[in-house]
Amino acid sequence: MKLTKDPDWWRGAVIYQIYPRSFQDTNGDGIGDLAGIADRLAHIARLGADAIWISPFFTSPMKDFGYDVSDYRDVDPMFGTLADFDRVVAVAHELGLRVMIDLVLSHTSDQHPWFRESRKSRSNPRADWYVWSDPRPDGTPPNNWLSIFGGSAWQWDSRREQYYMHNFLTSQPDLNFHNMEVQAALLEVAQFWLERGVDGFRLDTINFYVHDRHLRDNPALPEDERNDATAPKVNPYNHQMHLFDKSRPENLAFLRRFRAVLNPYGAAAVGEVGDSQRGLEVMAEYTSGGDKVQMCYPFELLQPRRLTAAGLADTFARMLAAAPDAWPCWSYSNHDVVRHVTRWGLDDTAARTYAVLLACLRGSICLYQGEELGLPEAEVAYEDLQDPYGIEFWPEFKGRDGCRTPMPWVSDNAAAGFTTAARPWLPVSPAHRPLAVAAQGDEGMLAHYSRLLAFRRAHPALVTGEMSAVSVVGEAASFTRSGAERIFCAFNLGSGPAAVTLPDGRWDSLGAEFGGRTADGNTVQLPGWGFILARKV
């Protein structure tokens, strides 16, 4: 399939996220690799995705499994070589898939040559490339900022006799975006990968790039406003209003510079907005105006609480108020949260309905590997945990390993076709093997997603069309998508029955092949988790 040169290819795209450690192992070491990704791309093309997003594969000490980069321009040996990456790009493009890679720009590993030089002294050429500060007179950190991974966001360094900032692990020091040399170096990294043929980037923690240069304390967040969407409930990170350590207005200037690098290549970026307090507003700022990143995904659909009809309406109303032209990228699951089938307690019928809803929302969508199989969260014993986040907060928070276990390809061996190793880096869940790719029949979840994505592609109004306000009656949410055709979408997001009234006019029912109800008159009775799609005649 030949890729088009459409610079708006990203608008409404279906992006499939690959977690490389867990997708396919080809060398028998129990860890997935780039060669395995290349070998399995046909699965993603058959599913009907438009692009892949590959989580970090750069050289790294792997304290945070690749989100601690020590060389932005090379592949970690556990994943292969640059030649292997080039093969991934070539195979993907042959299959009609665009390639997006995960850029972690807010911080590096403490093993990165930039940080090794920066920490040597206060006067070396990269002394100001990271966020350094003197202690308070009593020796304590310069302010009250907290790390998402627990404790203070400041780590003492005896070489410089200063603290450095880290929003995550102490081994992940934050880069100083107030230094224009840092910005220039990171833009060169992006250009390096664009020259290798990538079609875009997923930008990790995009709103964490810039900190308040005055290092002002964050105010306390009132207890009744706290939630656990960004960090687990047991983490005191939720006790602050994060005004000064992230989501700073100065970030907009850098994003404009980043967009200028993307444009000549027709490339796109989707940013992760890690902010449960004003994530929609930040997303609107970052994607509006056509001069910053094309897409962002906030945490509204990644939250622990199940998405309700009222929650859906509120999310879209707030987004519209913040910026009508903002372009979201919605996802239910990824490598950082409990898989949504488990998180929301969904049975098979409910999971199918939520999949259809995702495909009908205005915006692009991300599917996380295994989501198309209906995988639940894996149970991982404490002794098998790899994630430092889970180890820190166990047992109240079990970390992210349960959503990162190996992809099941076949059901007839212990490793589910992921590896020939006796012991994969994380165990394959016994609950996942019956849901393996090869075990799914014509009526399985994989077939449901394939039919759904084919339907979405056949109706451009669902891909790029306008979306009306969301109407709510009880547990039922409804809206219309409009383009060359007008499609009415209604979803019962509850277990009890619900009645939905179609707008005036004649409507033809759609989507029977994946469970859509038939319109019989203008009032439709939807059973629990039922939905109807209809086209205006």
Shared domain check, 412 and 532: no
pLDDT surpasses 80 at 228: no
Q: Which of 272, 300, 372, 401 is catalytic?
A: 272
Confidence of residue 99 (pLDDT cuts 50, 70, 90): very high
Shared domain check, 512 and 418: no
Contact assessment for residue 100 and residue 54, using Cβ atoms and an 8 Å cutoff = yes
Q: Is residue 152 part of a domain?
A: no
Report the pLDDT value the prediction gives residue 484, as an integer from 0 to 100.
94
Shared domain check, 528 and 401: no
Q: Is the peptide bond before 264 cis (omega within 30 degrees of 0)?
A: no
- Which of 457, 473, 499 is the endpoint of a domain? 457
| HSE toward the beta carbon, residue 334, CA cutoff 13 A | 22
Contact assessment for residue 229 and residue 139, using Cβ atoms and an 8 Å cutoff = no
Shared domain check, 363 and 269: yes
Q: Are strands 486-492 and 531-536 parallel, antiparallel or unpaired?
A: antiparallel
Q: What are the C-alpha distances in Å from 95 to residues 41, 43, 81, 199? A: 8, 10, 21, 14
pLDDT surpasses 90 at 521: no
Confidence of residue 137 (pLDDT cuts 50, 70, 90): very high
Q: Is residue 324 part of a domain?
A: yes
Q: How is residue 130 annotated by DSSP?
A: B
DSSP labels, 218-248: PPBPPGGG--SSSS-TT-GGGGB--SSSS--
Q: What is the pLDDT averaged over residues 182-203? A: 98
Q: How many other C-beta atoms lie within 10 A of the C-beta of residue 158? A: 7
Confidence of residue 275 (pLDDT cuts 50, 70, 90): confident
Spatial separation of the C-alpha atoms in residues 280 and 337, rounded to whole Å: 19
- Which of 398, 428, 457 is the endpoint of a domain? 457
Shared domain check, 482 and 441: no
Q: Which of 110, 174, 204, 401 is catalytic?
A: 204
Q: What amino acid occupies position 262?
A: L
Shared domain check, 272 and 190: yes
**What is the helix, strand, coil percentage profile of the chain, to 5?**
30, 20, 50
Q: Is residue 485 part of a domain?
A: yes
Across all residues in the chain, what is the average pLDDT?
Answer: 96
Contact assessment for residue 322 and residue 418, using Cβ atoms and an 8 Å cutoff = no
Alpha-carbon dihedral angle through residues 448, 454, 332, 291, given to the nearest 10 degrees: 180
Shared domain check, 339 and 440: yes
* Annotated catalytic residue 272: yes
Contact assessment for residue 364 and residue 11, using Cβ atoms and an 8 Å cutoff = yes
Report the pLDDT value the prediction gives residue 225, as an integer from 0 to 100.
84
Report the pLDDT value the prediction gives residue 229, as an integer from 0 to 100.
64
Shared domain check, 221 and 348: yes
Contact assessment for residue 521 and residue 491, using Cβ atoms and an 8 Å cutoff = no
Q: What amino acid occupies position 331?
A: S
Q: What is the pLDDT averaged over residues 205-215? A: 98
Q: Is residue 387 part of a domain?
A: yes
For residue 435, which of 406, 402, 399, 404 has the smallest C-alpha distance? 406
Q: Is residue 218 part of a domain?
A: yes
pLDDT above 70 covers a percentage of the chain that reads: 99
Q: Are strands 268-272 and 200-203 parallel, antiparallel or unpaired?
A: parallel
Q: Domain containing 41: what range? A: 14-107+180-457
Q: Is the peptide bond before 395 cis (omega within 30 degrees of 0)?
A: yes
Shared domain check, 295 and 186: yes
What pTM did the predictor assign?
A: 0.96
Q: What amino acid occupies position 27?
A: N
Which residues contact residue 519 at a Cβ distance below 8 angstroms, ignoring those fewer than 6 apart? 502, 507, 508, 509, 532, 534
Report the pLDDT value the prediction gives residue 1, as an integer from 0 to 100.
62
Q: Look up residue 323 and give its two tokens.
A: 């910026």
- Domain at 188, CATH number: 3.20.20.80
Shared domain check, 194 and 236: yes
Q: Look up residue 450 and give its two tokens.
A: 């394939």
pLDDT surpasses 90 at 532: yes
- Domain at 499, CATH number: 2.60.40.1180
Shared domain check, 302 and 269: yes
Confidence of residue 349 (pLDDT cuts 50, 70, 90): very high
Q: Is residue 77 part of a domain?
A: yes
User: Exposure of 178 by Cβ count < 10 A (0-12 exposed, 13-18 middle, 19+ buried)?
Assistant: middle
Q: Is residue 389 part of a domain?
A: yes
Confidence of residue 423 (pLDDT cuts 50, 70, 90): very high
Dump pLDDT digits (tens) for 17-28: 999 999 999 999
The structural domain count of the chain equals 2
- Which of 438, 457, 476 is the endpoint of a domain? 457
Q: Is residue 396 part of a domain?
A: yes
pLDDT surpasses 80 at 256: yes
Shared domain check, 394 and 348: yes
SS3 73: strand
Q: What amino acid occupies position 38?
A: A
